Structures are given as structure tokens and as C-alpha cells.
Amino acid sequence: MALFPFFKKKEFFSASEKEEIVHAIKIAEKETSGEIRIFIESKNYLVNPLERAKEVFLELEMQQTEQRNAVLIYVAVHHHEVAVFADEGIYQKVDNVYWDKAVQQMISHFKHGKITHGLIHTVLMIGSTLKEKFPCKDDDQNELPDDIVFGK
């Protein structure tokens, strides 16, 4: 007798979409010591998406980068929430207007059903800023994985 789950977990992205997003992260990080991660979950059970992003940032130990220049893009798909959380190194070099613009551009893409494109655009935008503020050094290492992290 075989047991089958009653509910199959729906994937947020196809395999090719995941590859495109991870490829964008690799490109964005290529010429910077900065790090970018994406965390996707179904629902945010906290009130504030930025607080949830901060919690995830710490759970993923993203504050461990040498120059404190990691950025987390957080998305709660079913609650339609997004946030960008930046560590203190990059946050001190870029004002709130920049981060608000990144979120607003992502939301604009999402409203048109272009979630993958919105993530890629935001990753590349942040990568360009990281490149400017934290250019790659000869001994630079990729300090954090480039994969997308999926929550519940």
C-alpha cells in the first residue's frame, strides 16, 4: 500500500526560473565583495515584513560577512509582501530612498505578474550598487550561498 500526501507543495518557480534568478545573483556578486540572498515563503505570520526580513537575515547568519555588506530580498508570496534588509556596512552607504525604490520597483513588476523578472531586476540593481560601494578585491571569496532559500 502506498501513501500519498493529500496536498502537494506548489513550487513558486520553475527550474529554469530558479536558474535565471541564481544566475542573476552570481552576475550581481561577480564584481563586488557584497552578498545577495533571496528568501521566499508562502506567508508572513509577523506583522511587519521588514521585521520578518531581519529575522530571516539573522537566521541565515548573513551578518557574518567580513564587510557587513549582505542584502536579503524577502518575499511572502501569498501575503503579497516584500522587503529588502541590508546589513549595516551597505546600509550606511546608501540612503532609505534607495531601498524604498528597490522595493517599489519590485512591487511594480510583481503587480504585472513578473515575479521572476522583478527579482532579477532588483538583484542586478543592488549588485550594481554593491559593486560601486564595495568593489571586488583580489582575495574576495563568496561568503554566502547564491541559492534561493525557501521557507514554509
**How distant, in Å, are the alpha carbons of 33, 82, 83, 97 from that of 73?**
17, 7, 6, 16
Confidence of residue 10 (pLDDT cuts 50, 70, 90): low
pLDDT for residue 8: 45
pTM of the complete model: 0.91
pLDDT for residue 98: 95
What is the β-pairing status of strands 35-41 and 148-150? parallel
Give dist(CA 90, CA 114) in Å, integer.
27
Q: Give per-residue pLDDT as tens, 79-116.
A: 899 999 999 999 999 999 999 999 999 999 999 999 99
Return the CATH number of 15-150, one of 3.20.20.140, 3.20.10.10, 3.40.1280.10, 3.10.310.50: 3.10.310.50
What is the rounded average pLDDT for all residues in the chain?
91
pLDDT for residue 45: 87
The CA-to-CA distance between both ends of the chain, in Å, stands at 29
**Domain residue spans in the chain?**
15-150
Compare 125 and 12 and report the one with higher pLDDT: 125
